[in-house]
């Protein structure tokens, strides 16, 4: 009797382990940011880029308007690529573009904007990168479409033609 229980138990345990590991194979082990769930925008206090005055997030983000929060930096090459799309979006009347200048030197950032022109209605500066973390961002560039203080779309990496059209559709 003893000899029979043992193999059966072993087979059961091994098959349970097999099933669980097999299921685990399908789980992604690469970080995928959660896109799509509507989160409230963080409440933060930051310096304005130009005047270095201190602003609260609620002074800038009003409820019934669309905002595009764009994290950018002069040292970031993909930011250069997405700039023309931001300029295109800055022509939209019902969308305000808010920039977050991420870990940048002010002089370089000003040169960047002079060279490529400025699509932003307002720019915050984030010298130590902590405000980007408040937003749940993990690099530059990253953009958040905000409506009624909720993030309705998150674009990781540079804005391209497809995301441009998507944004335009969302703000209609």
Partner 1 sequence: MRSLKFFIVILIIFNFNLVHAKTKNLDEKITKNLRCLICQGQSVHDSDSEFAISLKTLVKKKLNEGDSEEEIYNYLKDKYGEWILYDPGFSKNTYFLWLLPLLMFLIGGAIILKLFIYKKN
Q: What are the two backbone dihedrals, phi and then psi, of residue 126, each rounded to the nearest 5 degrees?
A: -130, 85
How many residues lie near partner 1 (CB under 8 A)? 24
145 Cβ partners below 8 Å, 6+ apart?
A: 66, 67, 68, 69, 151, 152, 153, 154, 155, 167, 170, 171
In the bound complex, what is the minimum distance in angstroms from residue 144's beta carbon to partner 1? 13
Q: Is 49 helix (H, G, I), strand (E, B) or coil?
A: coil
Please say whether the beta carbons of 169 and 145 come within 8 A.
no
Binding mask 22-61 for partner 1 (x = CB under 8 A): --------xx-xx---------------------------
Which of 2/93 has CB closer to partner 1?
Answer: 2
| Window 96-135: residues binding partner 1 (CB under 8 A) | 102-103, 128-130, 132-135
Binding mask 6-25 for partner 1 (x = CB under 8 A): x--xx--x---x--x-----
């Amino acid at each position: 009797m003893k000899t029979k229980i043992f193999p059966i138990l072993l087979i059961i345990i091994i098959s349970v382990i097999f099933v669980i590991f097999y299921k685990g194979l399908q789980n992604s082990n690469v970080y995928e940011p959660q896109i799509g769930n509507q989160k409230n925008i963080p409440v933060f206090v930051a310096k304005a880029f130009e005047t270095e005055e201190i602003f609260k997030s609620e002074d800038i983000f009003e409820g019934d308007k669309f905002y595009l929060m764009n994290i950018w930096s002069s040292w970031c090459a993909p930011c250069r690529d997405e700039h023309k799309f931001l300029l295109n979006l800055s022509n939209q009347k019902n969308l305000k573009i808010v920039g977050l200048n991420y870990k940048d030197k002010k002089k370089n950032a000003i040169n960047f904007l002079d060279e490529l022109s400025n699509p932003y209605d307002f720019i915050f500066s984030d010298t130590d990168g902590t405000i980007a973390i408040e937003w749940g961002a993990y690099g530059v560039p990253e953009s958040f479409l905000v409506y009624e203080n909720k993030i309705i779309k998150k674009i990781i990496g540079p804005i391209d033609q497809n995301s441009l059209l998507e944004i335009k559709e969302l703000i209609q």
